[in-house]
Amino acid sequence: MPFRMIALDLDGTVLDPEGRIRPKTIAALQAAGTRGLEVVLVTGRHHSVTRPYYEELGLSGPAICCNGTYVYDFAAGRIVNGEPFDHDDARRVIASCRQHGVAMLMYLDDVMLYEVPTPHLEKLGAWIDGLSTRPKPQLRQVASMEAVLDAAPNVWKFVVTHPDAGRLAGWYAEAEAMPAYGVEYSWRDRIDVMPAGRSKGSRLLAWAAERGVDPADIVAFGDNFNDLGMLTGVGLGIAMGNAPDGVKAKVGEVIGGNDTDAIAERIGRLLA
């Protein structure tokens, strides 16, 4: 077997356009597990909204969440490795968003907070309401992000969004120049903001090294710019057909879109 670990992004990759895991993908990943490959989710999501898919896939190890800011152990019910924002840096993110008039979502240990409802948040809230998974993810509206920070919680990630692409790009250009932050587009109208140096790729490689897994022994699947660190840092990085051209141009292989069984077929060839 040429690989020891399979790393997978969720949205736009393992999840189809309706937010579901295709049955053939589940079967292929389970077959990989029985052959001794370790399957790890590497996602921009908070662990609470990763859990339903983690359980559906029948995984047992930790997951890398919030774009690599932490590793979450579902069996233990806790974060086992991670570095949150410095509180002053978190306040500066909020101040910058207010200056540019863009909305934000803030990820804490056990809750995701927002001030302004958006279509994405409404869809996320409806999905949470329909879950049977326990505990359910917590998504709450607050009056002031600054007031929340007064209690000094751990802040793991921000998602910055606005329907006006130009306004969002203006915020991105400013934030990208700030050395304290890592900023990556995760969707056409959403930008993930992490402490500098945190990424899916850096966390995946550090976590794999702790387990004695060399980067060359990892195959990774992803679809967006926040996946590039892991796609370009492992033995085989595979982009989905629905990925932006800028992502496809930087990886070694492109397969079909997330509306196909391309992942299952590619894993099948790995196992053959």
The residues that are catalytic are 9
**58 exposed, middle or buried (CB, 10 Å; 0-12, 13-18, 19+)?**
exposed
Q: What is the CATH number of domain 87-195?
A: 3.30.1240.10
Confidence of residue 10 (pLDDT cuts 50, 70, 90): very high
From CA 207, how far away is CA 101, in angstroms rounded?
37
**101 exposed, middle or buried (CB, 10 Å; 0-12, 13-18, 19+)?**
exposed
CA distances from 267 to 52, 132, 187, 261 (A): 22, 29, 25, 10
Q: What is the pLDDT of residue 268?
A: 96
Q: What is the pLDDT of residue 27?
A: 97
Listed by start position, the domains of the chain span: 5-82+198-271, 87-195
| This prediction's pTM | 0.93
Report whether pLDDT(18) > 90: yes
Task: Write the pLDDT tens digit of every residue in 41-92.
Answer: 999 999 999 999 999 999 999 999 999 999 999 999 999 999 999 999 999 9
* Phi, psi of 159, rounded to the nearest 5 degrees: -115, 120
Give me the helix-helix angle, 165-176 and 87-100, nearest 10°. Answer: 150
Classified as helix, coil or strand, 242 is coil
- Third-level CATH fold of 5-82+198-271: Rossmann fold (3.40.50)
Q: What is the pLDDT of residue 187?
A: 80
Mean residue pLDDT of the chain comes to: 94
Q: What is the mean pLDDT of residues 199-203?
A: 93
Q: What is the pLDDT of residue 179?
A: 84
Task: Write the pLDDT tens digit of every residue in 81-133.
Answer: 999 999 999 999 999 999 999 999 999 999 999 999 999 899 999 999 999 88
From CA 248, how far away is CA 241, in angstroms rounded?
8
From CA 272, how far away is CA 270, in angstroms rounded?
6
Residue 199's closest CA among 170, 237, 225? 225
Report whether pLDDT(1) > 80: no
Q: What is the mean pLDDT of residues 209-216?
A: 95
Task: Write the pLDDT tens digit of every residue in 149-182.
Answer: 999 899 999 999 999 999 999 999 988 888 888 8
Task: Write the pLDDT tens digit of every residue in 225-257.
Answer: 999 999 999 999 999 999 999 999 999 899 999
Instruction: Tell me which H or E stretch contains 166.
Output: helix 165-176
Classified as helix, coil or strand, 102 is coil
Instruction: Tell me which H or E stretch contains 89.
Output: helix 87-100
Q: What is the pLDDT of residue 185?
A: 85
Q: What is the pLDDT of residue 133?
A: 80
**Considering Cα of 102, then 104, then 10, then 201, what sign does the dihedral take?**
positive
From CA 241, how far away is CA 10, in angstroms rounded?
15
Q: What is the pLDDT of residue 134?
A: 82
Contact 91, 146 (CB under 8 A): yes
| Residue linked to tokens 């070694």 | 252
Beta bridge partners of 220: 7, 237
